[in-house]
Chain A
Amino acid sequence: MNADWAAYDEPVLLERISQSLGRRREVLVRVEGLRCMACVRRLIGVLPQVEVQADLVSGRCALSWDPAEQPLSVILQQIEASGFRPFVLGGDADMGAQRQIRRAELRRLGVALLFGMQVMMLASADYFGVVEPGFDAVLRYAQWMLATPVALYAGWPFLLLGWRGLCAGAPTMDSPIALAITVAYLASALHTLQGVGAVYFDSVVMFVLLLSLARMAEQRGRALAAQRTRQLAATMPLVATRETAQGSESVPASALAVDDVLIVGPGAAVPADGCLQSLSSEFDESIITGEAEPRTRRQDEPIWAGSINLGSAAVRVRLTAVGENTQLHGISQLAERALKDRSIQQLWADQIARYFIAAVLALAVLGFAWQWMMDGAAFETALAVLVVTCPCALSLATPTAVAAAMTALARHQVLLVRGNALLQLHQIDTVCLDKTGTLTSASMELQQLEPLADLPGAACREIAAALEAGIDHPVARAFAGEGATLNVADRSTRPGGGVAGRVDGDNYSLEPASAVPGAGSPGGLRYFELWRGPQRVARFTLREQLRSGARVAVDSLRKLGLELEMLSGDRSWAAQGIGAALGIERIQANLRPDDKLARVRWLRAQGHRVLAVGDGINDAPLLAAADVSVGMASGTALAQSHGDAILLGDQLTGLSALFAVAARTRRIVKQNLTWALLYNVTMVPLALSGVLTPWLAALGMGSSSLLVTLNALRLLARPEQSQPLRSGPEVVPA
């Protein structure tokens, strides 16, 4: 559809969508149709001068090319000519930065692991007392050399952030870590030079290694979620076709102005808000409204940025708002504002860290003074206190459990984005569920077929399927999979959801029909009729389909004693039908995005703790305002970025897995924290009294951390209960 790629060569646009790699540039492209390694090989084959890095999972390619050799438009044209469809992903300059961060993390972890193992090996000689006199110093100098890259290179992020916090007078959780690493390292180095006293290089390396591992696991989960969010960029066009006096021209979307008239082809997205100039067409507005059902827009009606033209012909749109003034931008802004409400908890964590570090320092000074007066080993005591109070086990207690829980949840197809959400889940008493796209799936189901003329049912269905073939619409998906053998000529779509075309020489049309008189409540039902010329030949009944596992999931949530509430932007009767099928009594229908936000705010103001489940951009404010939020992976990408957890498998049963894993995580975090606190509380007096030597303190700290980590790993064990994870599609009873 988009044969003109020339606008991508515009220097301003090029600067925005690609990044410079010396002489070459790199751009991120989502290539539709890229399914296997053979496809990738073919793509590499048609682009000899381009370096292609393809990721099959997300269908994205990083293309690096030399702008002097060939312009980007030629490359895109070549990709399209070879049967793929390229979508340039814009505004994604941090992609390369992400990769650099990940690589740096890996390098640091590798160094900590390799050198740390050697330090531990040499230190074990000390533990077992097998060192002959005189070799002591050799082993210590060797440990010093080996521990230096671990402390200074692998531990650099902790040192940097921790000391920066300390210097700014606002210590973070990294501050005690940085302090412990620094003091233990410097004291060990000093003792090595002096040849007396203990060395704690082993504690330094284990500390850095364990913390790096925990942090990397957390980081990876977050990066995965961010990657999925980027797919949103693919739906917003970067280039638009503008109508001019001579015909049309292709311009960058950023250059559009109000009152420009655009030509939006079938299947293309509208880049800015406008009003329709053509007679009528159907638009997929799910990115704005979250409701999958297409909407018919007539002349002079508003068209929102991000909606997709589902009609069979190009339409003309006169722009009314561009860029930051569009509805789409406004909704994302709303989501961001709501998200900011939550940062208070982070402040709390930092407050606690400040008191903690103050207490640790006070204790160390106290121990030093005490032993000084008693003529004991004052420095040893102060160090023992610092090592023993080192919040190692304490700071590992939660992150290791959350990291293990992330892996455990991934098995249930749940992606955890914000680890803390797991620990807040037990407070939840109300669950707000979105309807369309969350409780129901995006396609309708063919429930009944009544042949009304000479044509048998199977033939009617085939003809209907052929007419609907290739249309992306919940109704069309109900017929998908049939009629592949029939050819349709002169296919055209009619306003209101009808389709017409010629099959085997006869003119057919499939039109929406009203309910049969006396058919009762239309709960989730839609009717369509197949016409051959003026004759009605069949009548189809379609029904909205509950997402598979929706009932199991809703029942399990109710069993947990949670209040369920359905929030829907849909008309009231449609919401009632779905609510009745699932046994949800509290139903709020006809809600706009800000109504949903207000509802969640109100519930929270009443003292409820709210879990929101939704998809679509209109749910993003809802998700951000709730205490804990869950997004659906099949929904619009932005909603996912606001979910604390994301259900990847399209299965709502992930929700009960989330609650189950959260309960186990909470139990383990409690055990870990209890152990770490008890350990510190009992060991501090021992260290203060000078009974505990620093190396014993370090050994204790190391095993304490190990215990906490191993306890967290218990979360990875397969859960004992085997609940039904899968169940067939459910339908709404009429």
Chain B
Amino acid sequence: MSSLLILIPISLLLVSLAAAFLIMAVNRGQFDDLDRQQGRLPDE
């Protein structure tokens, strides 16, 4: 069970990274308008 001593800090780091990416994406407006994308043509 001592592997937890490494795995828990790693999971802490990963989840913080994931949260940081999500916050970045939200701030850049990726989720502002979820209705527009369906109107896009395939070549765009």
Contacts and interface: CB of A to CB of B under 8 A. Distances in A.
A92 interface: no
Contact of B8 (A37, A53, A142): A142
B19 to A, nearest CB: 5
A53 B1 CA distance: 53
A56 B26 CA distance: 21
Contacts of A149: 19
A35 to B, nearest CB: 9
Contacts of B4: 135, 138-139
B40 A114 contact: no
Interface in B29-44: 29, 31-33, 35-36, 39-41, 44
Contacts, number: 63
Interface residues of B, number: 23
Contact of B35 (A41, A57, A115): A57
A628 interface: no
Contact of A138 (B8, B15, B32): B8
B18 A107 contact: no
B22 A102 contact: no
Contacts of A38: 41
A36 interface: yes
A586 interface: no
Contacts of A37: 39-41, 44
Interface in A224-244: none
A145 interface: yes
A429 B5 CA distance: 66
Nearest to B44: A37
B39 A132 contact: no
B24 to A, nearest CB: 10
Contacts of B22: 107, 110-111, 114
B38 to A, nearest CB: 9
A115 B15 contact: yes
Contact of B1 (A54, A103, A135): A135
Contacts of A145: 12
Interface string A54-80: 111100000000000000000000000
A38 B43 CA distance: 11
A114 B18 CA distance: 8
A103 B27 CA distance: 7
B42 to A, nearest CB: 11
A106 B19 contact: no
B36 A132 contact: no
A142 B1 contact: no
B23 A107 contact: yes
Contacts of B19: 110-111, 114-115, 149
A670 B15 CA distance: 39
A395 interface: no
A99 interface: yes
A204 interface: no
Interface of A: 36-38, 41, 53-57, 99, 102-103, 106-107, 110-111, 114-115, 118, 122, 132, 135, 138-139, 142, 145-146, 149
- Which 3 A-B residue pairings sit nearest by Cβ, starting from the closest? A110-B22, A142-B8, A106-B26
